[in-house]
Amino acid sequence: MIDLLKILAVALITVFAHMILKQTKPEIAMILSIAGSVLIVIMVVDSLSSVISSFYEIFERTGVDTSLLTPLLKIIAIGYITEFGANICYDAGASSVADKILFAGKVVILLISLPIIKTVIDMVVAIL
């Protein structure tokens, strides 16, 4: 809960500073927004280790091969990074570039997910 309050504080300070600087120094306002966003991402990444541990525990309990966890985590990371980059582009007014980033992220996710899809199909065929 306290971590969320810290993140909210950084976000509010970033937004207010952006609003103040946007009128006089728009380029500095954009850099400030990106810096605040990166700081928030860093704050969130610190707490992800418990999530990853939980994933490993779930995989071990269910007997699913833990080697599938790496591509799964990559897919999740690519999704978040893609959205983060696209949102920065949207904020900068480059919606066309943002759309291309989202498309590229979806293609990369599809490529990384192919081994997982193959494994799931193999598991279903083995059951039948």
State the 10-residue block means of pLDDT for the chain, 128 residues long: 83 92 89 90 80 84 80 90 91 90 96 89 87
Within 8 A by CB and 6+ apart from 30, the residues are 91, 92
pLDDT digits (tens, 9 = 90+) for 65-93: 777 788 888 999 999 999 989 998 898 88
Which SS3 state, helix, strand or coil, does residue 105 take? Answer: helix
Q: What is the mean pLDDT of the chain?
A: 88
Long-range Cβ pairs for the range 86-93 (8 Å, 24+): 88/34, 88/37, 91/30, 91/33, 92/30
Q: What is the pLDDT of residue 48?
A: 79
User: What are the residue ranges spanned by the domains of the chain?
Assistant: 1-46, 55-128
Q: What is the pLDDT of residue 1?
A: 59
Q: What is the pLDDT of residue 35?
A: 92
Closest CA to 7 of 44, 34, 33, 32: 44
Provide the whole-model pTM: 0.71
Q: What is the pLDDT of residue 37?
A: 87
Handedness of CA 47, 51, 52, 54 (dihedral sign): positive
Token digits of residue 29? 């306002």
- Neighbouring C-alpha atoms within 13 Å toward the C-beta of 127: 6
